[in-house]
Amino acid sequence: MKKKKATLSIVVPAYNEQEVIEEFHRRTATVLDTLADIDSEIIYINDGSRDATIALLLKLMQGDARVQVLDLSRNFGKEAAMTAGLDHARGDAVIVIDADLQDPPELIPGMLREWQAGYHVVCMQRLTRDGESALKKATARGFYAVMGRMGQIRVPENVGDFRLLSRQAVDALKQLPERTRFMKGLFAWVGYSTKLVPYKRDPRHAGVTKWNYWGLWNFALEGITSFSVAPLKMASYFGMLTALFSMAYGFFVLGKAFLYGDPVPGYPSLMVVVLFLGGLQLLAIGVVGEYLGRMFIELKQRPLYLLNQHHRAGLQPPSDCD
Ligand code: UDP
Ligand code: MG
């Protein structure tokens, strides 16, 4: 009896990628053509692109029955776009890959081999970050260090979103309901047997990166606050320490006044203490605010993304899987 063919979904978030999307598809399709024993689908997510990306994607769909296009109603960000793709992927294995060819599609067969060997998650770990500035490399390293120290989960270093997930891992991921989606953390949180495969990350084939440092900073905050309450604890420990210190200083001042009388001076020390405590309090309130803000966002339970349209080749089945 012939075994049922395994199925593979490729999830590709794309935002303003008109310069590379065709080349990406050409290379990916070539790789998928070589996989004789696997049926595949390619799910492109158009994340509210403002260029010709959607037109190009629809054209690709005309020429390749494996292609589906999820057109989001606006730009929701890569994390939401990936979530949309994972929600609609039907394969036994799902691979998330960037559209800009920084993650070479030629590595897909190797990832599948690890999956067939029994791993649920295959993470691609970059050895090089060619084409990225020294500052970005340094900040990335700092982030992983902080994250590793604070969180209960371990986010493997230099592992991006390029990875394979088994059906079981995808279904597990889909159960996580949070609105603020730090995917690297969520991927790590679900666990399952994981294989790290090193690879050389190419520079962007064409087009420009969608990240800036402000974006990255917020992304890092997101990562830390979604997976760790350490900053909250730190705020209370800082508070405790300063309270102890203030108490000791208070005794010292009182003692001095009793022994030597109190000839009024003390403006500088008073100022220092007031300013220091004021700053500390603002900082602590800010930390609390970060968490409160996220609770506010979670509380609203808004959908993670909105679909404008799900383009599929051929007959449209009744929309029960949307
Ligand atoms: N992307 C997206 N929505 C966004 C920003 C980026 O879908 O709001 C996609 C983008 O098209 C690309 C991937 O996410 O396929 C990675 O983006 P980029 O190359 O800009 O990030 P970098 O590789 O510099 O981290
Ligand atoms: Mg990139």
Tens digit of each residue's pLDDT, the chain (322 residues): 556 788 999 999 999 988 889 999 999 999 998 988 888 999 999 999 999 999 999 989 888 889 999 999 999 988 899 999 999 999 999 999 999 888 899 999 999 999 999 999 998 888 776 667 788 778 777 877 777 777 666 777 777 889 999 999 999 888 887 777 777 777 777 788 888 888 887 777 777 777 777 878 887 888 777 777 777 777 777 777 887 887 788 788 888 877 887 677 777 777 777 877 887 787 788 788 778 877 887 887 788 898 888 888 754 544 544 4
| All structural domains of the chain with their residue ranges | 7-227+303-311, 230-300
Does any ligand 1 atom lie closer than 6 A to the CB of residue 225?
no
CATH superfamily of 7-227+303-311: Spore Coat Polysaccharide Biosynthesis Protein SpsA; Chain A (3.90.550.10)
How far apart CA 286 and CA 295 sit, in angstroms, is 14
The first and second tokens of residue 213, run together, are: 């440092």
How many angstroms separate the alpha carbon of residue 197 from the centre of ligand 2?
19
How far apart CA 131 and CA 91 sit, in angstroms, is 33
CB 140 within 8 A of CB 220: no
CB 305 within 8 A of CB 80: yes
Does any ligand 1 atom lie closer than 6 A to the CB of residue 85?
no
How many angstroms separate the alpha carbon of residue 237 from the centre of ligand 2?
39
CB 15 within 8 A of CB 81: yes
Question: How many residues are present in the chain?
Answer: 322
Sign of CA dihedral 144, 150, 155, 156: positive
Please state the pTM of the whole predicted model.
0.70
CB 161 within 8 A of CB 78: yes
User: What atom of ligand 1 comes closest to residue 13's alpha carbon?
Assistant: 7
How far apart CA 234 and CA 207 sit, in angstroms, is 41
How far apart CA 118 and CA 112 sit, in angstroms, is 10
Ligand at shortest distance from the CA of 219: 1
Q: Considering only CA atoms, which of 289, 300, 255, 253 is closest in space to residue 273?
A: 253
Closest-CA residue, ligand 1 atom 13, reads 98
Closest-CA residue, ligand 1 atom 6, reads 78
